[in-house]
Amino acid sequence: MSLNSDKSKETARRVLMAVAMHLGCDDIYHIKWSKIDKNTINNLLIILDKVGLSPDTKSLYLSVIKSVLKEAFLLGQITTLHYERVKSVKRSMGSRIKKHQLISEQNFRQLLQQVDEVKQPTATCLRDKAIFHLLIGCGLRRFELSGLQLAQINHETQHLIVVGKGNKEREIKLHNITYLALKAWLNIHPYRNGPVFVRLTKSGQPYYKMSDTPGLSGHAIYNLCKKYGLISAAQRIPPHSLRRSYATWLYNNGADLKVISVLLGHSSLKTTEIYIKHTQDDIDQAVDANLFSSF
């Protein structure tokens, strides 16, 4: 309840569910936090290391555990000494090279072609292409895309008003190519208001049940990316890699890093710098072209 965004709450719940599993508990409400001490946490970190989690992921687990134990301390459920011992556990050091894939413009055209070639109703085809256009043409996070409402589109200026992490609002310009793909879907959109992207049946009709919301979830968008093979059937690219491709395309074509940071909704340029992906070929060429230039 102390977390501000739904995304942060979802992440914390996912971590706590994993912690419960590793501790042999049925669910997160059966974890006995008063029994979680320094040794318990260190043993859990060893288990997480054995299953191959990265240092960053282990640090996330540790942060969530410490946050819960802080609340336990403030509620008087653990002693000051207990809490100080828990706080002394250090985060995992080091990092791993993340294999975030990027796609080229040619790969993106291939992706759109695959959407066209799948036997499905026209409405589904137009919706899916619009989703991919906004992922790579606006750099949206999947939860931003799933929460996007029709009222957030300014058709006169071709802008999106996006609410991102920390409830921060930003304005994103739609490229003409992106806007045309979005407009093609909106021309047959089944509703006048509500989510931009809605659930459809196999026949391409709006999926409607009294207990369900019409909008696509972030998980559904993730599964949509898994549905299409961008380069090969075995090589899928998740939504966040499309966001990284957006940033890298802009940077490689001369966009200022500060502008890219604003478009992505980042609070720090350091975060944006991580998003700019340099391929191994780029790095190799930099060495070949710039090292020993006068030798």
Average pLDDT, the chain: 86
244, 275 Cβ separation under 8 angstroms? yes
**Where are the alpha helices (H) located in the chain, listed in sequence order?**
6-22, 38-50, 55-74, 80-87, 105-117, 122-138, 142-146, 176-186, 218-227, 239-252, 257-264, 269-275, 280-290
Query: Of residues 82, 100, 170, 240, which has the active-site annotation?
Result: 240
Report the pLDDT value the prediction gives residue 5, as an integer from 0 to 100: 72
For residue 8, the model assigns a pLDDT of 81
Residue 181: predicted pLDDT: 96
Q: Is the dihedral of CA 163, 166, 171, 176 positive or negative?
A: negative
240 catalytically annotated: yes
Res. 231 pLDDT band, cuts 50 70 90: very low
The candidate with the shortest Cα–Cα distance to 207, out of 218, 220, 219, is 220
Phi, psi of 176 (to 5 degrees): -55, -40
Q: Quick one: pLDDT band at residue 155, thresholds 50, 70, 90?
A: very high
Catalytic residue among 85, 165, 199, 236: 165
The catalytic residue among 58, 243, 246, 251 is 243
In order of start, what are the domains of the chain with their CATH numbers?
6-87 (no CATH), 105-282 (1.10.443.10)
pLDDT digits (tens, 9 = 90+) for 257-266: 999 999 999 9
pLDDT band at 187 (very low <50, low <70, confident <90, very high): very high
159: annotated active-site residue: no
In the residue annotation, 165 being an active-site residue is answered as yes
The average pLDDT across 96-124 equals 83
Rounded-to-integer distance, Cα 188 and Cα 33, Å: 52
Please classify residue 197 by burial: count the beta carbons closer than 10 Å to its beta carbon, then call 0-12 exposed, 13-18 middle and 19+ buried: buried
pLDDT average, residue stretch 140-149:
92
With contact defined as beta carbons under 8 Å apart, do 246 and 136 qualify?
A: yes
Q: Which residue has the tokens 């959407």?
A: 115
Task: Please indicate, yes or no, whether the overall pTM of this predicted structure exceeds 0.75.
Answer: no
Q: Which of 58, 133, 141, 142 is catalytic?
A: 141
Task: Inform me whether the pLDDT recorded for 97 exceeds 60.
Answer: no
Beta bridge mates, 200? 206
278 is a catalytic site residue = no
DSSP assignment of 106-124: HHHHHHHHHHHHS---HHH
- Residue 243 among the catalytic residues: yes
